[in-house]
Chain A
Amino acid sequence: MAGGVAVRLGAHAGAATRFESNIATRDRSWVKYTLLAVGLTYFLLFLILPLIAVFVEAFRKGWETYLASLTEPDALSAIKLTLIAAGISVPLNLSFGLAAAWAITKFDFPGKNLLITFIDLPFSVSPVVAGLIYVLLFGAHGWFGSWLQANDIRIIFAVPGIVLATVFVTFPFVARELIPLMQAQGRDEEEAAVSLGARGWQMFRRVTLPNIKWALLYGVILCNARAMGEFGAVSVVSGHIRGETNTMPLHVEILYNEYQFAAAFAVASLLALLALVTLIVKTYIEWRASLTTSEESSS
């Protein structure tokens, strides 16, 4: 995922007017309007249309079908499982992200760059491969398959597998927001806190946390969005058992493949809403974070 709070703090306000009022950077008006037309058409066609289509299709058969699709037992159990998967993987990856960023940015040790590369690894692995690796380990024919069977533990085609796959695909989100920011902030403030007698937890809560809160929140909401929306990895390990191992995206797939389009889009519209909320919160965080930095740079 490109961007991140640290990167996206470019000077937004007034930037366009600055370019448009300078003779050397001003584009001719026909160039400007052509590019605007092309860029915005592309934007509408590829980004906005799919978003609108979700809601139009969801309400094609009216409110009642819509509500019924969301309240039937299988849908409810899919929503519940999605919440469970996100509820476990987000805190896990949050604590990991904090630990990794702390170790990497506050200390020097050999192999640090390799460690950073490894943390990014899950982003470059296909979701399907992400699911596959747990099947290879815990599936009926996997490494631990017979041992798990003998002890009557189910991981694949069960909730633990879904959680594992979700943890894998959302693994780097928090860490990769925190690392560049904390690297830029350096160690001075923490060292000052320690020199003033702060204990570990006091230093973290009073000095580190206030400095990273926006990046942390940013990482968490992106992590959560991906956790709730993951399809490929979860699909491999789930087994698609209705009412048991279906998350919301998997439930959408089953309904769609059964030609229950309105119901499929109804559940999909909930996920689309989640995406919109995520984007709104994300924009708000970027705005807040840019306020903090502009205050700092102006003082």
Chain B
Amino acid sequence: MAHASTRRVLPGFGLSLGYTLIYLSLIVLIPLSSVFFLSAGMGWDRFIDAATAPRVVASYQLSFGASLLAAAINVVFGLILAWVLVRYTFPGKKIVDALVDLPFALPTAVAGISLTAIYAKNGWVGQFFEPFGIQIAFTPIGILIALVFIGLPFIVRTVQPIIEDLDVEFEEAAASLGATRLQTFRRVVFPTLLPALLTGFALAFARAVGEYGSVIFIAGNIPFVSEITPLMIITKLEQYDYEGAAAVAAVMLLVSFALLLIINGLQAWTTRRAGREG
């Protein structure tokens, strides 16, 4: 790192940093702080009441539970998809690779209504579950499906580059020491991918907890059963309960910030383990 000097060689430091700070403050920092100022103004008891009302707690359980499960499912299948995309050749590979990013590009409302149509009782997929009495759309399973959809690219795109950069020497060394392919995967490849998998898991989880558009159509939104936390904020806003909405939002923001810290730590771990010198 070069030493900070009072005389700078390149132009534009004051202008670019000043613009950055003002813009960041006006658009992000000051508006976000409103949530905490309003929550703080409520006093502890009213804040706790609003943030832990039974219906709200039920929404936490659903949002966090479904998000964890969706991220876990994506870890397994996302890893398989990333592996297939790096290690094998097959027709249409380039197209598959490009379309993995679809959930990033497709507006959430579009994904929401489309998934609802597919998984409704008479939908393409839903009709096969209907005879067994299994409903997917308008139940927590539907929420899970939507969260799996939006989370998939996070796992694939964090693990894929790590698999690409895996040095074949490690697998050769394991084989020369007598390890089977499965042992090599479990003891050599998987531990190398683990930090990236956890990073992807955390990213997918963080996104799923706050997700609204793709979930809201397929959820059914029945109190205590299929109401997600972001919906609780909207419900409170519609009743002009600004404080209640701010309290729930404060809880969500704190969770997001905690996740952000964890993700930063995980990413540092990923680069360390994937780096050549360990």
What residues make up the interface of A, taking CB atoms closer than 8 Å to B? 1-3, 7-8, 10-12, 15-20, 22-25, 27-28, 31-32, 35-36, 38-40, 42-43, 45-51, 53-54, 57, 95-96, 98-100, 102-104, 106-109, 115, 117-122, 124-129, 132-137, 139, 141-143, 164, 167-168, 171, 187, 190-191, 194, 199-200, 203, 222, 225, 228-232, 235-236, 248-250, 252-253, 256, 261, 264-265, 268, 271-272, 274-276, 278-280, 282-283
- Report B183 CB to chain A, min CB distance, Å: 12
Main secondary structure of the interface of B (DSSP, over half): helix
Asked if residues A142 and B242 are in contact (CB atoms below 8 Å), the reply is yes
Cβ-based interface call for B49 (8 A): no
Q: Which residue of B lies closest to A250 (CB)?
A: B109
Cβ-based interface call for B42 (8 A): no
> Which one of B8, B28, B217 has the greatest number of beta carbons of chain A within 10 Å?
B28
Sampled A-B contacts (8; CB under 8 Å): A20-B88, A35-B80, A47-B102, A50-B106, A99-B17, A127-B211, A136-B31, A191-B10
Classify chain B's interface size: 35 or more
- Report B255 CB to chain A, min CB distance, Å: 9
Asked if residues A282 and B101 are in contact (CB atoms below 8 Å), the reply is yes
Contacts of B153 in A (CB 8 A): 2
Asked if residues B252 and A35 are in contact (CB atoms below 8 Å), the reply is no
Q: With the chains together, A222 CA to B17 CA distance in Å?
A: 24
Which among A27, A45, A107, A252 is the interface contact of B110 at CB below 8 angstroms? A252
Interface hit among B50-58, B129-137, B256-264: B256-264
Contacts of A203 in B (CB 8 A): 10-11
Which among B21, B86, B104, B213 is the interface contact of A16 at CB below 8 angstroms? B86
Which among A42, A133, A232 is the interface contact of B32 at CB below 8 angstroms? A133
Which among A103, A127, A141 is the interface contact of B20 at CB below 8 angstroms? A103
> Taking A109-B4, A268-B113 as contacts, is the C-beta distance between A141 and B240 under 8 angstroms?
yes
Asked if residues A32 and B88 are in contact (CB atoms below 8 Å), the reply is yes
Asked if residues B106 and A271 are in contact (CB atoms below 8 Å), the reply is yes
What residues make up the interface of B, taking CB atoms closer than 8 Å to A? 1-4, 8-13, 15-17, 19-21, 23-24, 27-32, 34-35, 38, 77, 80-81, 83-90, 93-94, 96, 98-115, 117-118, 124-125, 145, 148-149, 152-154, 157-158, 160-161, 164-165, 168, 171-172, 174-176, 181, 184, 200, 203, 206, 209-213, 217, 230-231, 233-234, 237, 240, 242, 245-246, 249, 252-253, 256-257, 259-260, 264
Asked if residues B161 and A8 are in contact (CB atoms below 8 Å), the reply is yes
> Which one of B1, B34, B90, B234 has the greatest number of beta carbons of chain A within 10 Å?
B34
Asked if residues B20 and A99 are in contact (CB atoms below 8 Å), the reply is yes
